[in-house]
Structure 1
Amino acid sequence: LQRIDPDATVVFVMNHRSNMDYVLAGYLAADQAALSYAVGEWARIWPLAQLIRAMGAYFVRRNSRDELYRRVLERYIAMATHGGVPQAVFPEGGLTRDGRLRAPKLGVLDYMMRGFWLDGARDLVFVPLGVNYDRVLEDRSLLLQADPAARRPGGAKALWNTLAFAMHNLRLMLQSEWHRFGYACVNFGSPLSMREYCAIHGVDFQKLGAEARRDAIAALGSHLMSAVGRIVPVVPVPLLAAVFVREPEARHSELELKAAVEALIEAFGAAGAHVYVPRRDLDYALSVGLRMLKLRRLVEERDGLYRANPRELSLLGYYANSIAHLLPGRER
């Protein structure tokens, strides 16, 4: 990052797993400047709206068909890009519902490219960021949204669930029984200069017709999403979830789990993936991951043997899906 031209417009490109991504993005850039990024109008509720706005976000109406609104938003993003405002963008356009990476949506990316000129004073540099969590706070809600047949809780029920979750964790803290939610990990990829990209591909976005521009933006979006996908970190809970999902009926001793995890780590390493082993201690990583899975009742323990909880296979699959694309032969 230190090699990036200080006058360039820097845009962090992230996969979108949790609403905590906004906090994470703000934290990563805290020593530079507030990032500007789009957030859906769903977040315009107290106190979330005030927190997100303080971190540099602006609210957008996704999928709006209002032509005037879209023109104003396009101009705003193009001017911010042309003016060198540091930004973050989530190409997926929303949270993943099943843990897998989603195909990129191209609207905001297109607007950014309208503020970039090859002969302009500023380069535009995209910095891929891959993020993953041992615990996504909204995981069950996201799975409900992915299932059209599932019953969704009303507003009062959702509020009650949130308060119950907060009170449960407060009680555990007071009883000194609370455990952290595991690890959140971020990897930075190689910065992509748009001047270099355009030179290599022989393209000038400002001179393209409508159809050619759509194709060029789609190719750029796919390139950036692939760059993000390659650096999504492998953390303990998804690693263990992959083992349990692969053989949901099998019972494993801790020694067998360690052997299976070691084999997976070797496979991920051979594929060029970034595996995060906390404290560089595999035994510790295994214990942290298993503790989280047991606390959430995603796995069952009996006589020292562990197996997937049959009622929680979809949630285990959600975490396993976050790293499945990193292995050869797995589709994103």
Structure 2
Amino acid sequence: MSESANTSSDGAMQERKLLEPYTRFRIDPLNALREFYSHLRGEGWRGYDRIVGQEIFYPGFSENIKSKVMQQEALRKQIRLLASKRVEVELGDGLLGPLGVEGEETEHRRRRESRRSEIENELRQVAEEWTDKMICKMDSRRFIRGAYYMTSQLLTRAYHLGIHSSTEEVDHLRAVAQEAAKKKQSIIFLPCHRSHIDYISLQVICYRMGLALPTVVAGDNLNFPVVGSFLQHAGAMWLRRSFGDDQLYPTLVQAYMDTLLQQGHNIECFIEGGRSRTGKLLQPKFGILRFLLESVLSGRVEDAMVCPVSTQYDKVIEVDSYVNELLGRPKPKEDLSQFLSASNVLSLKLGRVDVRFHEPWSLRGFIDDQMSRLEKRSPSADELHGGALRRRLLQTLGYQVLSDINAASVVMPTALVGTVLLTLRGRGVGKSELVRRVDWLCDRIRAQGGKIAHFHGNSTETVVDRALEVLGSNLVSKVEGLPEDTYQAEDRFQLSFYRNMTIHLFISEALICAALYTKVKFGGDAQGQSISYAELKDYVLFLSQLFRGEFIFPTMSLDENLQEALQGLERDRVVLTTRNNIVSNEIESVELHPQERESGRDNFDFYCFLIWPFIDACWLGAVSCFLLAPPPTYPSQPDATWIEQKAFENAAQLLGKTLYHQGDLSYFEAVNKEALKNAHSRSEEAGIIVATARSKDSKIPAKVRLDQEWMPPRDSEGRLQPEGKLWDLCERVSQSRREGKNRRDGATIKTRVLGLAGLVGTELWEGASLESDGGVRTTSSRRRKGLQTRAVL
């Protein structure tokens, strides 16, 4: 295995190929045997015996860590507390004999102490068993050598162009790791999460660089026979997906995190929690991050280094299954068969993986900096102490990491091609125009401070050809028999995964163009298509609130963000601003730049096409709230107005699929489950939807209802009417929706959309009534199930 450093075509920083394909035995058996023999003997870096970091992979490692976890004072204190509470309960239940009997105080005290000691021993045994199941078991260096050889063989067969990273970033990370090792400090790797390959690629990179492998925080859904044991011995720790009301388990997790950080062992956890099914970063999850922050805040750990990591792929193995899940099909349970079936794709050529490391920073330094900023604002005592402070620090930490991941990310060739194909008006695009638009997009990405994957001196046409080959004809098809090679998006839903890898770079510009489109869509002269700055700002703020759970926005204020984005759009001659006078230089209005108008709005449309699918999803989320309006024939008692949330989400998705196929929804990806969940969460935050308290018992379903203030009116025949606050919200979102063939007919669409919402809503309520009555399934409810089944095909 060799290392190579290359310079990008634009003179950017050098890149190192950290993992190259192995020699195939059938092609060159002699060299293949030599490579295998080198691993078997552990020659050079393959031996993994002179690592940077604390010692791991030695006999007794697991028992040593387990012993240190059980010695943590916080865990021992919690065990004593729980034992004392249990004794008090048993005392109250009279299980330890009568209280206050004269002459028996000493004996009663002895029984209490004996019982408390007995419970403590039982709790310690439980904690030891849980610890043994939880902790990673890095006990054998021979095992990790073999595991590295096997996984890297499989990985380089799937990603045939290897794993790449920045030479400068890798060298700097190694220097940081050496300094941290001297101080016995941990590095906390916080990667984005798009694939199961994420943690494999980071582990093999650390192995190849000679860094101590991190302990990978993983959900116990992956802890199934064979695979679970393999992963645990390669560095995975198993964490319950839910802690429930358990009072011991969270303390045990905290004790394990404290132990790893105190001993200077590296840790890896995914800031988003689960894998992103849509291609863009998800909102941060604070579960394990809370434990890591608490270790430093409490003073039990002096400091740790935080390293945000971005992993990008030419093609993600699981995208097919992601689409199925987003369209409502249940997620298959993780098991060995899933992994074995995944091995079939390892023979495919999926391109390359790019792993990029942000500049590591001190967690203690971050806390001190945030505290200093908070004190300068003269906050209240509540903000500086207790849970409020911890929540504030935790939230800021999560979004800081996401921002750093975006900053470190590179845009892959497949993302460039996918983005261009989904932001053009035509059905297809010629090869020359596709190459031109990819060049244009690369320039825009660099102008936004983004990074492009290295082309290694290849022409843009060569890079586009390789991206098309990796994406394959199932995603992008070539139209045969034409004078110029012409390509069109074959599977727009799946291709949107790759487009979403670029949208964070242009979110501000996209919102501005969407706001301007509210005027442009009506046509007319330049003056008629102009929007005042006040209107623009108001609508951008409106959309920003809708997309609060969808995107990671810049940390600047709205005014600063708007000014900066407008300057860039004006510099690129996409928009033209009119200012009131030279003194204040304030923007009065915004319109399309004359040059952009003459060129057919190509660049303006690009930004609109980026955001339109998400606007469609928001509109569908608002329209689907009409489903929660009880039919006139339904009982009017307050207790009868609740619908199971899962049934509501299924009905909303069915409504969206029907609207799409009937032409009233432009983007099929708008019906995806995650987008609808985000839209309904925003409706709940806004008070449109009221939800029951979520039970920790998974068997008790969450229920929702429409707030009375948002209840839509009906006419004398019971039909939903396009009036009231809810319809006003739908109309406001719709102002920036892409105009389609069926959206110019005014009142007709209102009747059609609300009529369909009434139909699906009636079936939803019939199903709810049937379930509450425990009755026999009716023809209507069977039809509803049939519609749902057909809609997911």
Query: Is this a same-fold pair by TM over 0.5?
Result: yes
Amino acid at match of 2:233: A
Is 1:45 the counterpart of 2:214? The answer is no
Change (3 A) 1:16 1:160: closer
Candidates 164, 167, 185, aligned match of 2:354: 185
Residue 242 of structure 2 is aligned to residue 63 of structure 1: yes
**Structure-1 residue corresponding to 2:369:** 200
8 A contact 2:218–2:269 mirrored in 1: no
| Higher mean C-alpha deviation, range 233-242 or range 57-66 | 57-66
Question: Match for residue 267 of structure 1?
Answer: 444
Query: Which residue in 2 is equivalent to 1:327?
Result: 506
- What code does the residue aligned with 1:93 have? G
Listed as ranges, the matches of 1:23-34 within 5 Å are 23-30=200-207, 31-34=210-213
8 Å CA contact retained: 2:312, 2:410: yes
- How much does 1:160 deviate? 8.4
State the secondary structure of the residue aligned to 1:322: coil
Query: 1:246 aligned to 2:426?
Result: no
Tell me how far apart the structure 1 counterparts of residues 344 and 298 of structure 2 sit (CA, whole Å): 54
Q: 314, 317, 331: which is aligned to 1:134?
A: 314
Q: How does 1:172-321 map to 2 (within 5 A)?
A: 180-202=349-371, 208-247=385-424, 249-281=426-458, 282-295=460-473, 297-302=474-479, 303=482, 304-309=485-490, 312-321=491-500
Give the secondary structure class of the aligned counterpart of 1:116.
helix
Task: Report matched runs for 1:101-112 at 5 Å.
Answer: 101-112=281-292
Instruction: Give, as a single letter, the amino acid of the residue that structure 1 aligns with 2:259.
Output: M
Structure with larger RCO (C-alpha < 8 A, sep 6+): 1
Q: Distance in 1 between matches of 2:441 and 2:334?
A: 41
SS of 2:487's equivalent in the other structure is strand
1:55: Cα distance to partner?
A: 2.5
2:370 touches 2:393 (CA, 8 Å); kept in 1?
A: no
User: Structure 1 residue 288: deviation in Å?
Assistant: 0.9
Q: Structure 1 residues 151 and 202, CA, compared in 2 at 3 Å: closer, same or farther?
A: closer
Q: Secondary structure at the match of 2:308?
A: strand
For residues 7-156 of structure 1, the aligned pairs below 5 Å read: 7=183, 8-30=185-207, 31-65=210-244, 66-116=246-296, 122-148=302-328, 150=329
1:215 Cα offset (Å): 1.5
- Range with bigger deviation, 56-65 or 4-13: 4-13
Q: Which moved more, 1:109-118 or 1:208-217?
A: 109-118
Query: What amino acid does structure 2 have at the position aligned with 1:277?
Result: H
Alpha-carbon contact 2:428-2:487 (below 8 Å) kept:
yes
Q: Which residue identity lines up with residue 398 of structure 2 in the other structure?
A: G
Asked if 2 retains the 8 angstrom alpha-carbon contact of 1:75 and 1:111, the reply is: no
Change (3 A) 1:243 1:151: same
Query: Structure 1 residues 168, 13: closer, same or farther in 2, change over 3 A?
Result: closer
| Counterparts of 1:26 and 1:161, CA distance in 2 | 18
Shift of 1:29: 1.5
Aligned residues: 316
* Deviation readout 1:107-140 (Å, 9 max, x if unpaired): 1111012222597774311011111111111111
Measured in 2, the distance between the counterparts of 1:91 and 1:168 equals: 27
Helix, strand or coil: the match of 2:243?
Answer: coil
Distance 2:218 2:345 in 1: 29
Q: Secondary structure at the match of 1:143?
A: helix
Question: Relative to structure 1, is the Cα distance of residues 132 and 248 closer, same or farther in structure 2, using a 3 angstrom cutoff?
Answer: farther
**C-alpha distance in 1 between matches for 2:495 and 2:242:** 31
Quote the Cα distance in structure 1 between the aligned partners of 2:267 and 2:497.
Answer: 29
Alpha-carbon spacing, 1:33–1:139, altered in 2? closer, same or farther (3 Å) = same
1:242 counterpart SS class = helix
- Residues 151-181 of structure 1, C-alpha deviation per residue, up to 9 Å, x if partnerless? 666899x948964x655765xxxxxxxx521
Report the equivalent of 2:566.
none
SS of 2:310 mapped into structure 1: strand
Q: Which 5+ residue runs of structure 1 have no aligned equivalent?
A: 171-178
Deviation at residue 184 of structure 1 after TM alignment: 0.8
Question: Alignment partner of 2:429: what SS?
Answer: coil
- Alignment check: 8 A CA contact 1:134 1:235 kept: yes
Higher mean C-alpha deviation, range 229-238 or range 119-128? 119-128
Q: Percent identity?
A: 22
Q: Do the aligned partners of 2:295 and 2:301 also contact (CA within 8 Å) in 1?
A: no
Structure number with larger C-alpha Rg: 2
Deviations 1:241-281 (A, max 9, x none): 11111126432122111111011111111111111033232
Higher mean alpha-carbon deviation, 9-18 vs 179-188, is at 179-188
Q: Specify whether residues 319 and 124 from structure 1 end up closer, same or farther in structure 2 by C-alpha distance, changes over 3 A only.
A: same
Q: Within 2, Cα distance between the matches of 1:33 and 1:181? A: 28
**Offset at residue 45 of structure 1 (A):** 2.5
Structure 2 vs 1, CA of residues 74 and 293 (structure 1 numbering), >3 Å: closer, same or farther? same
Change (3 A) 1:229 1:256: same
Give SS of 1:247's match. coil
Name whichever of 110-119 and 316-325 sits farther off: 110-119
Deviations 1:12-55 (A, max 9, x none): 11100100011012112211112112111221134432332232
Q: CA deviation at 1:199?
A: 2.8
SS state at 1:187 partner? strand
TM superposition shift of 1:293? 2.2
**Conserved 8 A contact 2:315-2:471:** no
Hey, what's the Cα distance between the residues in 1 that align with 2:393 and 2:372?
Answer: 8
Summarize the Cα distance change of 1:45–1:280 in structure 2 as closer, same or farther, 3 Å threshold.
farther
Alpha-carbon distance in structure 2 between the residues aligned to 1:12 and 1:169: 27
CA gap of 1:197–1:160, structure 2 versus 1, over 3 A, is: closer
> CA distance change for structure 1 residues 13 and 94 in 2, over 3 Å: closer, same or farther?
same
Mark the CA change 1:239 to 1:36 in structure 2 (over 3 Å): closer, same or farther. same
More deviation in 282-291 or 42-51? Answer: 42-51
Does the CA contact (< 8 Å) of 2:302 and 2:364 recur in 1? Answer: no
RMSD between aligned residues: 2.7
Residue type matched to 1:142 in 2?
Answer: Y
Matched residues in 2 for 1:240 and 1:46: separation?
40
Q: 1:18 to 1:92 in 2, by over 3 A?
A: same
Q: Is the 8 A contact 2:261 2:301 kept in 1?
A: no
Q: Within 1, Cα distance between the matches of 2:421 and 2:454?
A: 19
The farther-off stretch of 72-81 and 278-287 is 278-287
Amino acid at match of 1:306: Y
Partner of 2:771: none
Letter matched to residue 67 of structure 1: Q
The Cα of 1:315 is off from its aligned counterpart by 0.4
Conserved 8 A contact 1:25-1:88:
no
- 2:191 and 2:338 map into 1 onto residues whose CA distance is 31
DSSP-derived class of the 1:137 partner? coil
